[in-house]
């Protein structure tokens, strides 16, 4: 696990985009595992800029997204399919048929989860998985619980997560109560994992994930067991790590 310090959100986003673009350049038909939420928006913006300059070609890239709200269509402006279209897919030359997001409207959600795991297997696995981290340590929508869920599954969102996401909706009552999410097994099977963290609200979770025990109570802590994890975090998110470890540099190998 290697941690890179970023000065601020903009610096974090550019560093993340550099790593993602390197993957695209090195393997033009790579499978990218993509994330949503406010954290990766800046990285997607930078990737769009480099694509517009002719530096990046997404024409052979395949993608799989981490999750989707149960009950929302891809046209709903708070769905993660809509998010990806709006923030990346509509602005680069990726083929939409090569982009994959779980269906929030599947009549049989459990069958949709099995189908989605099959899609990932058929693609040959994920080359680079992008992650954010929740204030409670969740990755994707894998919430703190008693066991690590291996495959894609339906999860009941915690009140903390729903409150955090309520800023994107008119009220918390409109925030879905369930989601379909890639499981810990799917995330851990990626060849490389890139986790981004920004803001002081993520400081405790980031410290616990990197330096605490590996426990499903802090889902991101499982990344300690992955052999190729890069974390890029801004100074606010790194505050507790710096305080408790005495780290003062720009790169930390844990």
Q: Report the number of secondary-structure helices (H) and strands (E) in the chain.
A: 8, 11
- Give the per-residue pLDDT at 254: 81
Query: DSSP letter at 202?
Result: G
- pTM to 2 decimals? 0.95
Domain boundaries, the chain: 2-253
Catalytic residue among 65, 87, 100, 136: 136
Whether 136 is catalytic is: yes
Specify the pairing of strand 62-65 against strand 99-100: parallel
Catalytic residue among 51, 68, 100, 138: 138
Indicate the pLDDT class of residue 165, thresholds 50, 70 and 90: confident
Indicate the pLDDT class of residue 100, thresholds 50, 70 and 90: very high
**67-81: per-residue pLDDT in tens?**
999 999 999 999 999
Q: Is 188 helix (H, G, I), strand (E, B) or coil?
A: helix
Whether 143 is catalytic is: yes
- Give the per-residue pLDDT at 42: 98
Across 109-116, average pLDDT: 97
Catalytic residue among 143, 149, 208, 234: 143
Which CATH architecture describes the domain 2-253?
A: 3-Layer(aba) Sandwich (3.40)
Whether 68 is catalytic is: no
- Give the per-residue pLDDT at 4: 98
- Give the per-residue pLDDT at 6: 98
């Amino acid at each position: 696990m290697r941690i890179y310090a970023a000065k601020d959100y903009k610096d974090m986003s550019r560093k993340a985009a550099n790593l993602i673009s390197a993957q695209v350049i090195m393997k033009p038909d790579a499978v990218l595992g993509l994330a949503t939420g406010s954290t990766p928006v800046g990285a997607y913006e930078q990737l769009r800029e480099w694509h517009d300059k002719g530096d990046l070609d997404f024409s052979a890239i395949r993608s799989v997204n981490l999750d989707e709200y149960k009950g929302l269509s891809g046209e709903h402006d708070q769905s993660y399919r809509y998010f990806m279209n709006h923030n990346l897919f509509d602005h680069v030359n990726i083929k939409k048929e090569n982009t994959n997001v779980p269906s929030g409207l599947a009549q049989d959600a459990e069958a949709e989860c099995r189908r989605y795991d099959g899609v990932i297997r058929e693609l040959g696995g994920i080359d680079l998985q992008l992650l954010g981290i929740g204030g409670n340590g969740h990755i994707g929508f894998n919430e703190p619980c008693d066991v690590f869920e291996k495959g894609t599954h339906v999860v009941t969102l915690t009140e903390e997560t729903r409150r955090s996401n309520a800023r994107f909706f008119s009220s918390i009552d409109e925030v879905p109560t369930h989601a379909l999410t890639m499981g810990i097994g799917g995330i851990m099977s990626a060849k490389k994992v890139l986790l981004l963290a920004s803001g002081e609200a993520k400081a405790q979770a980031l410290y616990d994930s990197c330096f605490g025990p590996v426990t499903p109570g802090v889902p991101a802590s499982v990344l300690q067991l992955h052999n190729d994890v890069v974390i890029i975090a801004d100074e606010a998110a790194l505050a507790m790590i710096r305080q408790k470890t005495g780290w003062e540099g720009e790169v930390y190998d844990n």
